[in-house]
Amino acid sequence: MMKTATKHITREKLLDQGVAMFTEHGYHGVGLQDILKSVGVPKGSFYNYFASKEEFGAASIGHYIEPFIKLLDQWLKRPDLNAAAALEGYFAELTNEIERQGFVGGCLLGNLIGEIGDTSEICHVALSNALHLYRDKLKEGLERGQREGQFRTDKSAEAMADFLSDAWQGALLRMKIEQSSAPLTACYKNLLLDYFKA
């Protein structure tokens, strides 16, 4: 039991470090040795957890998106907020965190889609899955907002969720260039408080 728990903790540490380093340096800018050294795992032991760097990259993508979906779910489950306020609160929290981090990194999904999205099949599948999981959680909030009368119903919640997700990725890229949260704030406020509004 203890061995299994230790193995799980080591795997989580590797994934945490993979997410951090891939976000900062890109997939090709990070060697396995860099990650292993920072976590204190021998190279031979790495293959007890992952068959290859590609498989590790794909697992890191899934690991990266989980907390965003969990946080969004927490906002949507707040009983004191309607769907529109919950979505606005979620994106405001993300924006504040990005400001706190000094506008570095951006989104791992967007970064890797541009870097390896069409060259690694296993990472392509992981990126696609992560994007769809995230889109579906946004869709859940937008559907609720439609039922509550806050969001327009002439467009499907899925179409609006796709648009919001795509616009947010573009705003994150612009944020990195401008070193400002203004593109992020404009993105979610223009959509949630104007374009999507009933």
Kindly state the tokens that stand for 41.
Answer: 């795992």
**Does residue 73 belong to any structural domain of this protein?**
yes
**Does residue 25 belong to any structural domain of this protein?**
no
Q: Hey, which residues does 151 pair with through a beta bridge?
A: 197
The sign of the torsion formed by the CA atoms of 63, 67, 68, 74 equals positive
**Does residue 5 belong to any structural domain of this protein?**
no
**Does residue 114 belong to any structural domain of this protein?**
yes
Q: What is the pLDDT along the chain (198 residues), one digit of tens a residue?
A: 445 556 677 889 999 999 999 998 999 999 988 898 888 888 888 888 899 999 999 999 999 999 999 999 999 999 999 999 999 999 999 999 999 988 887 889 999 998 998 899 999 999 999 999 999 999 999 999 999 999 999 999 999 999 999 999 999 999 999 999 999 999 999 999 999 999
> What is residue 3's predicted lDDT score, i.e. its pLDDT?
52
> What is residue 104's predicted lDDT score, i.e. its pLDDT?
83
**Alpha-carbon gap, residue 84 to 193, rounded angstroms:** 8
Contact 22, 32 (CB under 8 A): no
Q: Which helix (H) or strand (E) holds 180?
A: none
In total, how many domains does the chain have?
1
**Does residue 125 belong to any structural domain of this protein?**
yes
**Does residue 61 belong to any structural domain of this protein?**
yes
**Does residue 19 belong to any structural domain of this protein?**
no
Kindly state the tokens that stand for 118.
Answer: 């069409």
Q: What is the three-class DSSP state of 30?
A: coil
**Does residue 35 belong to any structural domain of this protein?**
no
CATH number of the domain that residue 114 is part of:
1.10.357.10
* pTM assigned to the model: 0.90
Which structural domain, as residue segments, surrounds residue 130?
A: 52-195
Secondary structure (DSSP) of 65-100? HHHHHHHHHHHHT-TTS-HHHHHHHHHHHHHHHHHH
